Chain A
Amino acid sequence: MNHARKGNSRSLGEWLDGHASTLFITPAVLLILIFSIFPLVASLIIAFSRFRLGAGSYRVRWVGLKNFEKQFFGSEQFHFLGTFEGMSTLGWLVSIIAIAASLYWLARYCFTKFWWLGFIGRIISALMFVALVLLFSATLLSGTQFGTLGVTLFYVFAGCALQFAIGLGLALLCAQPIRGRSFFRVIFFIPLMITPIGIGYAFRMLADTSKGPFSHVWQWVGLGDFAWASDPWAARLFIVIGDSWQWIPFVFIILLAALENIPKDQQEAAEVDGASGWQIFREITWPQLLPVAATVMLIRLIEAFKLVDLPNIMTSGGPGIATESMSLHSYFAWRTLDLGQSAAIAYLLLFVTVVICVSFFNYVVLSRLRHAA
């Protein structure tokens, strides 16, 4: 009896050991398949159907591309893309420049090195770029309002630029020979740990022009009655500032670690040779920082597309739809139980995110890494 059990447990152990390679990776694969891939497919099906929740059950009806059509050409066009009233001269000018630039870029790729998969990828990126420039020309540059797609892109690019600029600046300051570096590091790290909800409400209090802490300043400048939340651009800017306050620490921490990792001998040699601080930064520090910087910005880019809680808390998408990001748009559609539309918008967001992030990864990050290697 005892012997048998022993043999049994040994064979179990042997079986475990023999299948160790499978057992190690199976949980992760299963989790991703069930909670990531399956919902992704299901969401696609929902996006192509009209979905009604009933009492305890739901009905699905296939409607084809109707949900997407509505976003681009139908009743939801103003909401997703924006309002169109013809293109202004400036708009035409910018679009023609963008088209010419992408054609030049494609042509240069064809003449230097050609690989058909790379070419297809570049065509997709170029088309996306031209489409987005056209959208901006037809709405923003022609004096009409743009929809949630434009707002999302504004958050992503304005936010990332601001975070990179300030994050890099702070990292460079902290990399100087200063006292209390770890103190500053801990302090600067704090905003990253605070819930976005809390940040949203805290910034709402701070930005209040009549009861907030800066109300005296506002009154002194003559903006005492100015309400941030009722002006589209002020509201958008306000959300970008809140988002940046939270994410600058992330950029800062990683860039600082990268700066500290750069060997000091080259810098010191350059200093002995009489190079100025700016020259040292441009010729020595910056090239070594670039691979890390590109990757950090890729992470920020990916996360920035998901922004939803700050606009929800700070302005709930208002005034009108001026601060509504695509995630929020989808969430509002879900709240009115229009699941088909919600899924369609989510899929459009996914498409834009993937094309932009993959383009950034292929043309910026990979080339930087190759340069560094």
Chain B
Amino acid sequence: MKRQIPLIIIMTLGFMFVAHSFIPHKVSVDFFDWFQDWSKAISPFAVSLGIMSLFMVHGTKIKRKVPNWQYSVITLAGLIFTALAGFIWGTQSGTPYMWLFENVQMPMSATMFALLAFYIASAAYKAFRARSAEATVLLIAAVIVMLGQVPLGAMISKWIPEASTWILNVPNLAAKRAIMIGVGLGITATSLKILLGIERTYLGGGD
């Protein structure tokens, strides 16, 4: 029963939603909207699960004094203080909560994001090393596309921007669409497997 009931719910609702995409009738649309509202109601409960998980993981680390357990103290202190700041002083501009958001979280997120520039440079170096014929083609294409995006490209030759556009619009787009068709079919197949109960791993366990 532990498996059957969720499977029955999934199959019933799954087929109803498949039918919904072909039925524009108000009855179908209203049911879909009503269901969406209910699914939104699940989120707050799931947040508490996330917070509990965070407490359990870091609480265990602190309790067992595992190496670097102090970081866990900071994590939990940050969590508690930010939540309290929001509950006590509100979340409007100028409150401690917003101060933390604007002066702690945003700069730290921006820092992580900024690292991406260096990682891209490193990844580009790895990708564009002309070790094989394919890698050489990739390198040439990349150089053309990059030059095509800046004024220098047009200054070198008027064909570079056009070649750049052609690379992006023809071979690149063709490959992208091929992947997208595959992805679309993959999604359909996975959805079908879930609807028919062939794929049940997400319920826990393999079969």
Partners in one complex: no
Chain A: residues with CB nearer than 8 A to chain B? Answer: none
